[in-house]
Chains A and B, each alone.
Chain A
Amino acid sequence: MSTLTLIPLLPLLGFLVNGLLGRQLPTTVVSIVGCAFPALSFVATCVVFRQFLGTGSPLEDTLFTWAATRGFVVDAAFYFDAITAVMCLVITGIGTLIHVYSIGYMHGDAGYARYFAYLNLFLFFMLVLVLGKNLVMLFIGWEGVGLASYLLIGFWFQDPAKTAAGLKAFVVNRVGDTGFLLAAFLIWAYAGTLDFQQVNSYFGMTPPTAGVMTAIGVLLLVGACGKSAQIPLHVWLPDAMAGPTPVSALIHAATMVTAGVYLLSRMSGLFLAAEHAMTVVAWVGALTALAGATMGVTQYNLKKVLAYSTMSQIGLMVMACGVGAFSAGMFHLYTHAFFKACLFLAAGAVLHALAGEEDMRNMGGLARRLPFTFGVFLLGTLALCGLPPFAGFFSKDEILWAAYASERGSVALWLIGMTASFLTAFYMFRAVFMTFFGASRVDPHVSAHIHDAPPTMASVLAVLALGSIVAGFVGLPALWREAFGLSAPFYDLLAPVLGHFEPRADAGHTAEVALMVLAVLVGLAGIAVAWLRYGRAGADLRGGKPGLLHETVSRGYYFDAFYDKVVVRTMDWLSDTVLARRIEAPLTRTSLERPADAGARMNLWFTRLQSGDLQTYVIYALIGLAIVLGFGVAHG
């Protein structure tokens, strides 16, 4: 077994130890086990990454042949290339940090060991997802992270609302998974293999008809939409905030929800041959980016603001994939993991200080009370708003540039991206002003106990805040690279797999500079508007009577209501009338109830034979003897 296999195996060991023995072990041991295995997994990732950099060729490890029939072989195999390297470093690195943070955050919880077991299990499946060499391995991880997500959203299962949120996430993801499976079947039907490299080269070299390519691409996108909370399957993500905040940071911001972007990048060879599907991908991403940002503006719950923001940012990543700039999408995935985890964990520190209060209307003035938390939250926010020199600037700018300058891009996509950026700056600073500035609206009882984060939480916040500042420097825009004679290690790393992004011929340097300046100005404008509306002294934070537009947006464009009224009701009606009465009832009557009744009647008749009278039994024996003897005489 190579170091490569150790990467996913270590968190699995952590899960087994804490899951089986956790309740007997003292809390300290549970914490050490829970954090040490992810940390070791991170070390293993670094070792493999060095090996990979040394040779420059992807690493593979085949554990065993899982299924083999004529012309179809599925190996349980791991594969480590540049995309996997980025994903693994993010997952194990940020994952370890969030485990450490959880020690402080979950301290004293009754399900402490269970929490760490689930979190380790999540890491295991997530690593299987990104390390899998073929679609089947990816699917195992895909379903596994869904399970871990379900378990962790409903972690406090005594609250029915939280269990329901977990269930919702699981059910909505099933819709996406159906798309994923259908895509996998189609891929197998045409390419005869599920291995990523072979699939990509097959569809790159000899693509079938445009209709088939579009179908495969769109079905894969449906799968990505379910996991990555893209329209129209985004409805589970806001509800998923019911889970503990570190879970929101790890699963519903930094890693699992980006699995869709990973899938699109992994299948880039296929997507580049599917023009129509690419257009759909780009527009779904763009619309999600815009819708998520607008919904974020109307929320009062701090975690939900961040949830919609995540949805919006992943929309941008998907849009980048859709215009063919896969490496830009991956880069945003990587920087986003830092600053969004930072924001979520800082928000967690706020909730922790306020005894679980999540409504920003009951916060305010916390900058003085929680100076450290305020500092890291502000850094994360600046990174998310895309202001230079923070991490988000480089990645978001690259995406917007690609949306404008790519062969597949358009001014419309760029405008939507810019609008989403403006709204992002607006709602994030709205959150900052409502939470940290102005007069305190905190409940006086709670106010007395406000305290900044304990060391385990604070150190993690500091690392992530630092990441939010510096993580972007590995992927400087082409313009800066040329101007300062620097390189962009991130793009160079991904280039062998995802290629270099080449802008259209007519999109020159002047346009790039102009767009970059414009993007920064738009971000600053968002901040300014937020200050005018929420930051100034005496600003009305409660807002007046919400108008029709506000009502529509704050209710998530009635997606939930629509699904409830149309999908759920229709299913209920169909089940009650057609399936239950017309099909199930007659079917069970003829196939089960009638034979059972006949059996019961026959049984009754047989019981009468058993009279309990000894002499009747003697007669039975005699009849039997007569039959045997008669048979013997007849055939003797």
Chain B
Amino acid sequence: MMGRYELLLALAAALFAMGLFGVMVRRNLLVVVMSVELMLNAVVLSFVAAADRTQTLDGAAMTFFIYVAATCEIAVAMALLVLLARRRGTLDLAAEQELKG
């Protein structure tokens, strides 16, 4: 049977897959960013699960670093999203294909 560690990893994998799916299929940029956050949290969960299993602080310490990075990333991403929304009046990804070769 699956123990607590395996269950937590399965949950993290499920969350990661959901996030990835969201990044791939949703057309709204805001939702895409939210999906990215979901993937990030799936990874954090796997770290916490590992820390719980090994009874060390390494995984927990990594969590703090990830949250600091994630906070910064969100702050920048939100600012960009607001500017993009103001400039184009939409956050639909279909409108953002300027780099098409």
Binding site for B on A (CB under 8 A): 606-615, 618-619, 622
Contact = CB atoms under 8 A, between A and B. Distances in A.
B99 to A, nearest CB: 4
A612 B97 contact: yes
Interface string B59-101: 0000000000000000000000000000000000110111111
A628 to B, nearest CB: 16
B50 interface: no
Contacts of A608: 101
17 contacts: A606-B101, A608-B101, A610-B99, A610-B101, A611-B101, A612-B97, A612-B98, A612-B100, A613-B93, A613-B97, A614-B32, A615-B24, A615-B25, A615-B93, A618-B24, A619-B24, A622-B24
B23 interface: yes
A202 B93 CA distance: 87
Contacts of A610: 99-101
Nearest to B29: A614
B57 to A, nearest CB: 28
Contact of B97 (A606, A607, A611, A618): A611
Contacts of B98: 612
B66 to A, nearest CB: 19
Nearest to A611: B100
B100 A614 contact: no
Given A610-B100, A612-B97, A613-B93, 7 more contacts: A608-B101, A610-B99, A611-B97, A611-B101, A612-B99, A612-B100, A618-B20
Interface string B17-52: 000100111000000100000000000000000000
Please classify how large the interface on chain B is, using the bins under 10, 10 to 19, 20 to 34, 35 or more. 10 to 19
Contacts of A614: 32, 93, 96
B23 A615 contact: yes
Contacts of A622: 20, 24
Secondary structure class of chain A's binding surface, majority of residues: helix
Nearest to A615: B24
B101 A607 contact: yes
B29 to A, nearest CB: 8
A613 B96 CA distance: 7
Contacts of B99: 610, 612
Contacts of B94: 613
Contacts of A607: 101
B23 A618 contact: yes
B87 to A, nearest CB: 17
Q: Which of B24, B96, B98, B101 has the most CB of A within 10 A?
A: B101
Q: Which of A606, A608, A609, A613 has the most CB of B within 10 A?
A: A613
A112 to B, nearest CB: 58
A609 B99 CA distance: 11
Contacts of A606: 101
Nearest to B100: A612
Nearest to A612: B100
A262 to B, nearest CB: 67
A612 B97 CA distance: 4
A609 B93 CA distance: 17
A503 B94 CA distance: 104
A622 B20 CA distance: 9
Contacts of B101: 606-612
Q: Which of A610, A611, A615, A622 has the most CB of B within 10 A?
A: A615
A618 B97 CA distance: 14
A618 to B, nearest CB: 6
A51 to B, nearest CB: 76
A268 to B, nearest CB: 74
A396 to B, nearest CB: 82
Q: Which of A611, A614, A622 has the most CB of B within 10 A?
A: A614
Nearest to A614: B93
A613 to B, nearest CB: 6
Nearest to A617: B99
A424 to B, nearest CB: 79
B81 to A, nearest CB: 13
Nearest to B26: A615
A381 to B, nearest CB: 81
Contacts of A609: 101
A622 to B, nearest CB: 7
Nearest to A613: B97
Contacts of B97: 611-613
A618 B101 CA distance: 16
Contacts of B25: 615
A332 B43 CA distance: 100
Contacts of B93: 613-615
A614 B23 CA distance: 9
A55 B93 CA distance: 95
A377 to B, nearest CB: 79
Contacts of A619: 24
A356 B32 CA distance: 86
A599 B23 CA distance: 34
A39 to B, nearest CB: 69
Nearest to A619: B24
A83 B94 CA distance: 88
Nearest to B98: A612
A293 to B, nearest CB: 76
Nearest to B36: A618
A618 B99 CA distance: 15
A611 B97 CA distance: 7
Q: Which of A608, A618, A622 has the most CB of B within 10 A?
A: A618
B90 to A, nearest CB: 14
A99 B46 CA distance: 91
A618 B23 CA distance: 8
A622 B25 CA distance: 14
A445 B25 CA distance: 94
A609 B100 CA distance: 9
A129 B99 CA distance: 64
Q: Which of B20, B24, B96 has the most CB of A within 10 A?
A: B24
Which 7 pairs show the lowest CB-CB distances between chains A and B?
A612-B100, A610-B101, A612-B97, A607-B101, A612-B99, A615-B24, A618-B23
A47 B89 CA distance: 90
B82 to A, nearest CB: 18
Nearest to B27: A615
A606 B101 CA distance: 9
A613 B97 CA distance: 5
Contacts of B96: 612, 614
